[in-house]
Amino acid sequence: MSTVHTLRIDGKDVAGSDGATILEVARENGIDIPTMCHLDGISDRGACRLCMVEIAGSPKLAPACMTRVAEGMEVTAHSERLLEYRRAITEMLFVERNHVCAVCVANNHCELQDLAEDLGVTHFDLPRINPKVEVDASHPLFAIDHNRCILCLRCVRVCDEIEGAHTWDIMHRGLDTRVQTDMGLAWGDSPTCTSCGKCVQVCPTGALFEKGRAVARGTRRPRPFLPWMRVVAEERGL
């Protein structure tokens, strides 16, 4: 029988099964913790660092998506310190690449925009980096604009864990880090891509998109599940 732990999140008494993460327990109890890289039905990587929380007795912040609950744990998910931290992370996500929302296919349908609005990010204090990054439109159906990529790695994980193709992976370091198909091949030349479109569906910004999609066209993605994710999550008991 699974052990159930009792803990407190933002002063609220909650319970979570052994092995559950702080993020999972928080969401089960109606406590919203922002995140960009988490997606129900696939593994967590803790890449975006937006879900960091305070745990009593520890001087360090901990990623809620990667930290397992423990008996008697006291968690603070919302504080002035965390708000400023999340604003800073969101600002860095914007300035690290070239996010020009007005001409982006995901304008007004973008999770990064939603996050900035929720956190009250209205301007940038950090200088823009403006890296020279490429657009790969070699695939007959889809394209990737690295200007919009925030390296959440949802595409990498869904391609590997759900589709089983492992077309996407990560190359290089630092500001040169890119998600790439088949070790640097053009997407259109990929021998492993099944053209399923799952990577496009889970992209939180306009980095991955369908060709022919007009700016700001379409509807917001259903959250937290896309239909095929619900099946996978149920199979995994999530």
Average pLDDT of the segment spanning 99-114: 92
pLDDT tens figures, 217-228: 544 444 444 444
Q: How far apart are CA 140 and CA 109, in angstroms?
A: 23
DSSP state of 194: -
Determine the pLDDT at residue 193: 98
| 3-state SS, residue 178 | strand
| pLDDT the model gives residue 1 | 58
pTM check: above 0.75: yes
Per-residue pLDDT at 211 exceeds 70: yes
Q: CA dihedral defined by 165, 182, 150, 39, rounded to 10 degrees?
A: 10
Q: What is the pLDDT of residues 14-70, one digit of tens each?
A: 999 999 999 999 999 999 999 999 999 999 999 999 999 999 999 999 999 999 999
Using CA atoms, how far apart are residues 51 and 66, in angstroms rounded to an integer? Answer: 9
Confidence band for 232, pLDDT divided at 50, 70 and 90 = very low
Domains of the chain: 4-78 (3.10.20.740), 103-235 (3.30.70.20)
Residues 6+ apart with CB under 8 A from 37: 44, 45, 46, 47, 48, 50, 65, 152, 153, 154
Whether the per-residue pLDDT at 12 is higher than 90: the answer is yes
* Amino acid letter, 24: E
pLDDT at 216: 54
Tokens encoding 195:
């053209």
Strands 142-145 and 61-63: unpaired
Q: What is the reported pLDDT for 2? A: 73
DSSP state of 138: -
CA pair distance 63, 60, nearest whole angstrom: 10
High-pLDDT (> 90) share of the chain, %:
84
Give the closest residue to 28 by CA, choosing from 18, 14, 40, 42: 14
Q: What is the mean pLDDT of the chain?
A: 90
Evaluate the CA torsion angle 182, 154, 48, 96 in order and state its sign.
positive
Tokens of 152: 């959440």
Sign of the alpha-carbon torsion through 58, 62, 66, 71: positive
Over 70: is that where the pLDDT of 146 sits? yes
